[in-house]
Amino acid sequence: MTHQYLSHTASNGIRYIHLPTQRVIAHAMVLINTGSRDEKKHEHGLAHFIEHLMFKGTRKRNSYQILNRIESVGGDLDAFTTKEDTCIIASFLPQYFERSLELLSDILFNSTFPEHHIQLEKNVVTDEIISYYDNPYELIYDDFEELIYDGHPLGRNILGTKESIQVFDSKMLSDFCLRTYNTNQMVVCTAGNLSWEKGIKLFEKYFSSQLPLLRNWKRKHFTNYIPREKIIHKQTHQTHAMLGSLAYSFNHKNRLGLHLLNNILGTGSTSRLNMTLRERNGLVYFIESAYTTYSDSGVIYIYFGTEKNKVTKTIRLIKEELKKLREMPLSPMQLNKAKQQFYGQLAQSYDNQESYAINMAKSFLVYKKIDSLEQILEELNKITSEDIQQIANELLDEEKLSLLIYE
């Protein structure tokens, strides 16, 4: 399955990629290499707050006009913020490519952050924060990263706190964008029934005329991981727990191998953790492992929820599974099955055009290229059982694991 994309870089550093398709729906997005880790301490939650305020007004549109511009023709307009990225995305019928790109450009470059909307949105984001604190399954992921990245910006949650967002004003939002929304850290990505010639023309019209604003600073790297254990007392009906360690960045040579190991360990109903903890022992309803990558770091973690009196046994069985991965190489049959499963799951994600377009933009932002499924399969087939065992020993040794429990 090969996706033929085309790319171009404007003189101001903004990059453009286009994937021609014949799908009924088209997508356009701007991905910016800026997220919550780029906030200063007093700006906690600002990157996410800006994502909200982008839709509240530009120099020529009010909030209704922004939303109606896409919704009136049956499209969707959305945005999201991560610890390292901010993305604005539109989905629409292909005949509205120009309308959508013009709107994305207007939101990105001309947002005014009206003060009265800032005050209203503080209430909205406060409700979002309260809802987030009421969901231990979501909260424990951020609390675990705070445990891993103790004292580092990567350890702060994306939303901020009820207190931190109260100081935000229009000048803080504008200053943050001026500092971090650098043109050489942006990728515009389109996917749909649009010719390359038309795409370039629209990109040049709405994005390349922007004055260059180049990044002259670097992110603070995290270097001092110390394994920790922490118990937080919460009034939950179930005990929630997370076990894991520091892992590879998205530039590390063993990144694909760790993705494969994670798939074997805790992704899907036939994963080792699910079979042992749920199917054979009935200790958990849900258990999973996951691997999150950042530009200079990463985290691998195992999450489960269970009854309080089953926590000790569950952790013991998890550690036994990790020990097997460290000490027992996969057989050729096991390795081949794991690769087939991982490749099939990856192919499914490629089949979702919106998801694939986001991944394209991220890959182009980070690597300045996009690997095809065939190229990934070629790299996947190079991974050996010894590679998996070496990764397990490097990252999943008991002495390197951190543990967080909500009880």
Q: Is the pLDDT of residue 2 over 90?
A: no
**What is the rounded average pLDDT for all residues in the chain?**
95
Which homologous superfamily is 6-208 in? Metalloenzyme, LuxS/M16 peptidase-like (3.30.830.10)
Q: What DSSP string runs through 203-260?
A: HIIIIITSPP------PPPP------EEEE----SSEEEEEEEEE--TT-TTHHHHHH
Burial class (CB in 10 A: 0-12, 13-18, 19+), 323: middle
pLDDT of residue 162: 95
Q: Is the pLDDT of residue 232 over 60?
A: yes
State how far the Cα of 29 lies from the Cα of 298, in Å rounded to an integer.
25
- Ranges in the chain annotated CATH 3.30.830.10: 6-208, 229-406
pLDDT of residue 3: 60
Q: What DSSP string runs through 107-138?
A: HHHHB---HHHHHHHHHHHHHHHHHHHT-HHH
Confidence tier at 315 by pLDDT (50, 70, 90): very high
| pLDDT per position as a tens digit, 331-350 | 999 999 999 999 999 998 88
| pLDDT per position as a tens digit, 97-113 | 999 999 999 999 999 99
Is residue 102 within 8 Å of residue 60, measured between CB atoms? no
pTM: 0.94
CATH number of the 229-406 domain:
3.30.830.10
| pLDDT per position as a tens digit, 125-174 | 999 999 988 888 889 999 999 999 999 999 999 999 999 999 999 999 99
Assign residue 113 a region: left if phi > 0, alpha if psi is -120 to 50, beta otherwise? left
